[in-house]
Amino acid sequence: MPEKGTLLTHRTLEALKKTLDELPIGIVVTDNTGSVLYVNDCLTENIGSASISHITDLLADFPNTIYTDTTLHFPLSFTSKIKPEKRNGIHFHCRVKRNNAGNYLFSVTDVDVHLDQLHAINAQKDAAENLLRSAVIGEGTLEEALAEICRIAAVSLNVTRVNIWEFGNEQAAITSLINFDARVTELLSNVTLYRYQIPNYFRLIETEEIIPTRDALNDSNTAELKDGYLAVNGIQSLIDVPIRISGRMFGLVCFEDTNEKREWDSGEQKFGLFISQVIALTIETSRRKKTQKELELILDEKRILLNEIHRRVRNNFTLIQDLIRTESTRATDEYHRDLFTELRNRVNSLDMLQRQLYQSEKVDRVNFRDLILDLIAGYRSTFSGNETEFVTTLDQCELNVAKASIAGLLLNEIIMHLVRVCRDGKKKESIAIRLKKINSRVQLSVVTSIIFDELDEREKMQTSFEMAEKLGSKLDVDRNLGTNYRISFEY
């Protein structure tokens, strides 16, 4: 049994001393009154222990009831302010265990280290939120956005300098896009470093790995930068983080501490990687906006050009129709006046095609249904005194420009022929026009109750049959209970 007031025998304490000294936490052994019997090397090295004779000498907030109140449950833990010889105002977390004889074993852990880490994490979290909320990054120029990122990152990581570098062509050099130094109010002049001057450093950064450097002036990885860059800028420690855009190595973001040599922990390295991703996203977004603006300018120019072309083409069609109309007034007989009218209608058909093409959202296709309706509206206005009635049953159908122009001219020829016959006969007739789209084919038919002589009709409608051949089809004529002109072609 150990003597009263003693936690462990001398021999047992010596046997445990070596193990206790190797622990990464402070160990204090006291008797049942709180008098210190032993302090391990970890605690001695960090805070000193020469003047510690009682636990209250070490822990300012040590609760005296721990070693007087037998109703407490052990083990227990609490946080106390320690009184170190080497440090001041540091909080430690203590765990206390009591043996059967009423003596105590204290384990003392520095919680300020964890608090520092927590503060760093909170600072990085705040920095991330500031980056996401920043109007400069969202709406400013690329230089303003990158400078804002560097400023926020410098505050979060507690560094003096942050630089963003871009590789040149064929990675023969790296040039700083942003050279930020918290000690000055403006951005520093950009710098270019060439491969031939620092070949080993280039090979290192081309590995695309995060490169933390504690002692930059004496590290072999950064030896080539010492005289020309590190020393002149007073850089003690740095960390290089690659920037990748669309899977390609774009450059680096470098965080540089001019105050001290420092170890870059995993949290700082991860935050550096986050900053590099924000930079990549900012650059990529800026490029996309620039490309979008260029495309918008091109589209505006194209729109102006199309408007001008459309205006000139329509003016030319109108001029041609006016010339034909003028010449038709000189005709001395009905036959030649009809020829001029038919010619004007053909030109009008092409004019309507041009208008449909201009209104279409697709540059190579037109709405054939609307083209047919325009043609019929034109005939209704031209032959307003005639009793001819048009009936339409039309599916929605888009055709490429070439087929629409030929099919439109073919339909125009048929309608002209029928309107002329109806006019000559001086009687009310009905012309039914049907448009159906079945699978990949278009079926177009024009039906009237009039029955024509086949030979006479082929001679007068030669153009219609030729147009049908150009569509890769033929014009069928059914004379059962009237006349039905039918054509079917691929659309």
For 84-93, 108-117, 123-132, 481-490, which range has the lowest pLDDT when averaged over its residues?
84-93
Statement to judge: residues 179 and 239 lie in one domain: yes
Statement to judge: residues 66 and 143 lie in one domain: no
Query: Which CATH number fits the domain that encloses residue 410?
Result: 3.30.565.10
Query: Which CATH number fits the domain that encloses residue 183?
Result: 3.30.450.40
Residue 168 lies in a domain: yes
Longest dimension (CA), the chain: 146
For 112-121, 241-250, 275-284, which range has the lowest pLDDT when averaged over its residues?
112-121
**What are 420-438's pLDDT values in tens digits?**
777 665 566 788 999 999 8
Residue 317 lies in a domain: no
pLDDT of 5 higher than 60: no
Would you state the pLDDT for residue 418? 80
pLDDT of 138 higher than 50: yes
Return mean pLDDT, the chain: 79
Ranges assigned E (strand) in 155-282: 161-167, 173-181, 192-194, 211-213, 237-245, 248-257
Would you state the pLDDT for residue 296? 87
For residue 65, the 8-state DSSP code is G
Q: Are 464 and 475 in contact (CB under 8 A)?
A: yes
Would you state the pLDDT for residue 457? 67
Statement to judge: residues 340 and 486 lie in one domain: yes
pLDDT of 311 higher than 80: no
Statement to judge: residues 349 and 452 lie in one domain: yes
Statement to judge: residues 411 and 480 lie in one domain: yes
Residue 141 lies in a domain: yes
Cα distance between residue 447 and residue 483, in whole Å: 6
pLDDT range class, residue 3, cuts 50, 70, 90: very low
Residue 87 lies in a domain: yes
Statement to judge: residues 153 and 243 lie in one domain: yes
Mean pLDDT across the stretch 45-72? 66
Residue 120 lies in a domain: no
pLDDT of 321 higher than 60: yes
Statement to judge: residues 182 and 92 lie in one domain: no
Statement to judge: residues 344 and 474 lie in one domain: yes
The three-state (H, E, C) secondary structure of 463-480, written as one string: HHHHHHHHCCCCCEEECC
Q: Which amino acid is at 345?
A: N
**What are 220-269's pLDDT values in tens digits?**
999 999 998 999 999 999 999 999 988 888 999 999 999 999 999 888 88
Tokens of 480: 């059962």
β-sheet with 441-448: strand ranges across: 389-394, 430-438, 441-448, 483-490, 476-478
Statement to judge: residues 477 and 395 lie in one domain: yes
Positive or negative, the CA dihedral 196, 200, 203, 206 is: negative
Q: Are 473 and 442 in contact (CB under 8 A)?
A: no
**What are 430-479's pLDDT values in tens digits?**
889 999 998 889 999 998 887 776 666 667 778 888 888 988 999 888 88
**Number of domains present in the structure of the chain:** 3
Cα distance between residue 82 and residue 212, in whole Å: 34
Would you state the pLDDT for residue 4? 46
Would you state the pLDDT for residue 74? 54
Would you state the pLDDT for residue 254? 95
Residue 311 lies in a domain: no
Would you state the pLDDT for residue 1? 36
Tokens of 54: 């009682």
Would you state the pLDDT for residue 243? 92
Residue 217 lies in a domain: yes
Q: In the chain, what percentage of residues exceed pLDDT 70? A: 78
Statement to judge: residues 482 and 335 lie in one domain: yes
Cα distance between residue 28 and residue 209, in whole Å: 44
Query: Which CATH number fits the domain that encloses residue 56?
Result: 3.30.450.20
**Phi and psi at residue 26, to the nearest 5°:** -75, 140
Would you state the pLDDT for residue 255? 95
pLDDT range class, residue 83, cuts 50, 70, 90: low
Nearest to 433 by CA among 420, 453, 450, 448: 448
Mean pLDDT across the stretch 91-106? 77
Statement to judge: residues 446 and 362 lie in one domain: yes
**What are 174-226's pLDDT values in tens digits?**
999 999 999 988 899 999 999 999 999 998 988 888 999 999 999 999 999 99
pTM listed for this prediction: 0.53
CA dihedral angle for residue 122, residue 125, residue 130, residue 132, rounded to 10 degrees: -170
Nearest to 242 by CA among 201, 214, 273: 273
Would you state the pLDDT for residue 45? 75
Would you state the pLDDT for residue 230? 93
State which residues form the domain around 196. Answer: 134-285
Ramachandran bin of 404, using left for φ above 0, alpha for ψ from -120 to 50, beta for the remaining angles:
alpha
Tokens of 399: 């055709």
For 148-157, 290-299, 412-421, which range has the lowest pLDDT when averaged over its residues?
412-421
Mean pLDDT across the stretch 260-284? 88
To the nearest 10 degrees (0 to 180), the angle between helices 401-425 and 462-470 is 160
Residue 197 lies in a domain: yes
Statement to judge: residues 73 and 178 lie in one domain: no
